[in-house]
Amino acid sequence: MATIVKAIAREVFDSRGDPTLEVDVVLSSGAMGSTIVPSGASVGKYEAVELRDKDPKRFKGKGVLSAVRSVSETIAPHLVGRDPLDQVGIDRMLIELDGTETKSKLGANAILGVSLSVAKAAAADLALPLYRYIGGAVGRELPLPLFAMISGGRHAGENIDFQDFQIVPLVAKSFGEALRVGKDVHVALNDVLRDKGLATGVSDTGGYPPVLESNAQALELMEEAVERAGYEAGADVAFSMDVAAEMFYQDGRYILKAEGKELGSEQMVDLLESWVESYPIVLIEDPLGEDDFDGWKLITRRLGGRVQLIGDDLFTTNMRRFAHGAAQGIANGILVKPNQIGTLTETLDIIAAAKTAGYWVVISRRSGETEDTTVADLAVATNCEEIKFGSFSRSEGLAKYNRLLRIEESLGAAAIYRGKTVLERPRC
């Protein structure tokens, strides 16, 4: 039986050119697992804490040499000699070694890097793809993708208030076909924006970052792009939104600069409900602030039977936060980002809890992403319903789409792609 002989870490760079952590775990058999840890821009205050050096003379304080030391000096001695198949035991050890609720001592980036690399090393030792090692024979479902088209908020210089507007390819019958539909609309949207003299740059998640007169204009532009691409909005392609409302929630009010409005919780729900009635919206992520529980209860009551209401900042992939929200009947779906919680075991536990509670599961990238494709394997391993990996303009997102294409090919006839039918199950 192979054992862990070495864990090393180094400082590398993410998609924004900021430092991040890479961890290698090596086994006595020579098998190795390597992970690059991503980082978010709009970070919920309940997320596990990534360790940064905070040295203003080096990468403006964003260096991760302290996290490197966490791996090499603190974690590695406790890993050597351990069985890499004991994922639960190793993750428990990492949590206890840190000893804080937020993983702030060793850093969630150090802990996650080690946790995922242990799983990858074990998979490599068994000559299994990661999705098969994690999910076994039942992990074989390709998720419905949400493609970023227009970005705002902290992902695009706050050109508009809402963080991301996405399309959902309803017409596709396979994951590969879903990519084609998404690309068709992405190209058409470029033409629409150029015709109107609007910016066609690239945001952190790959969407276009035009300066618009209102948030709703993004939906109008996407409708035009869908039609130009030869599809029908609502029938072939639907819309989703990441509002990221916490980013403009101040003193109990929602400050919409693009709208020239200041709204209370009920008014914010009114606005979003009017959009659901006017546009083919099937999913809204973080429509309200992470602690606006009364607002979340209201929107769940009014829209929970019509659209997916996904909690990101609301839940932060945290079991305690999720259990609290689920007990109150808040939202009907959860966004899962492994670096929000810090270990593979905790990530799998919350996915299982969400499914048991009848919540949709969407696995997501971060805005400061890397070429690491772990989340693609995780999506298939857990048969999650949807993914949010960005658009068609950045290689860190495309690496994940390409990984899913390879998995779809390797599964062959065993692959499952439910497409739009994942949206049809009533939750509220």
Evaluate if residue 395 carries a pLDDT over 70: yes
Q: Which uninterrupted H or E stretch holds 356?
A: helix 344-356
Q: Are residues 153 and 79 in the same domain?
A: no
Question: Residue 276: inside a domain, yes or no?
Answer: yes
Q: Is residue 237 part of a domain?
A: yes
Q: pLDDT by residue (tens digit) across 210-238?
A: 999 999 999 999 999 999 999 999 999 99
CB 234 within 8 A of CB 177: no
Are 188 and 96 part of one and the same domain? no
**Which residue, of 127, 156, 172, is where some domain finishes?**
127
Residues 284-307: tens digit of each pLDDT: 999 999 999 999 999 999 999 999
Burial of 288 (0-12, 13-18, 19+ CB in 10 A): buried
- Residue 271's domain spans which residues? 136-423
The contacts of residue 391 (CB under 8 Å, 6+ apart) are 147, 148, 149, 182, 186, 205, 206, 207, 397
pLDDT band at 156; cut points 50, 70, 90: low
Residue 122, in any domain of the structure: yes
pLDDT of 264 > 70? The answer is yes
Closest CA to 9 of 124, 133, 122, 115: 115
pLDDT higher than threshold 90 for residue 278: yes
pLDDT of the residue at 17: 94
For residues 235 and 89, membership in a common domain is answered with no
Q: In whole angstroms, how far apart are CA 177 and each of 173, 180, 376, 405, 417?
A: 6, 5, 17, 10, 11
pLDDT at residue 356 above 70? yes
Among candidate residues 74, 105, 127, the one where a domain is terminated: 127
- pLDDT band per the 50, 70, 90 thresholds, residue 428: very low
Does pLDDT of 12 surpass 50?
yes
Least confident of 52-61, 158-167, 174-183: 158-167
Q: Which residues, 6+ apart, have CB-to-CB distance to 268 below 8 Å?
A: 245, 254, 287, 288, 295
How many domains, in total, are found in the chain?
2
Asked whether residue 369 is assigned to any structural domain, the reply reads yes
Q: Give the CATH number, domain containing residue 146.
A: 3.20.20.120
pLDDT at residue 42 is higher than 70: no
Higher local confidence (pLDDT), 260 or 134: 134
Interval 328-347: pLDDT, tens? 999 999 999 999 999 999 99
Q: Which of 127, 153, 177 is the last residue of a domain?
A: 127
What is the three-class DSSP state of 418?
coil
Distance CA 358, CA 312 (A): 17
Q: Is residue 428 part of a domain?
A: no
Residue 115 lies in a domain: yes
Evaluate if residue 178 carries a pLDDT over 90: yes
Q: Is the pTM of this model over 0.85?
A: yes
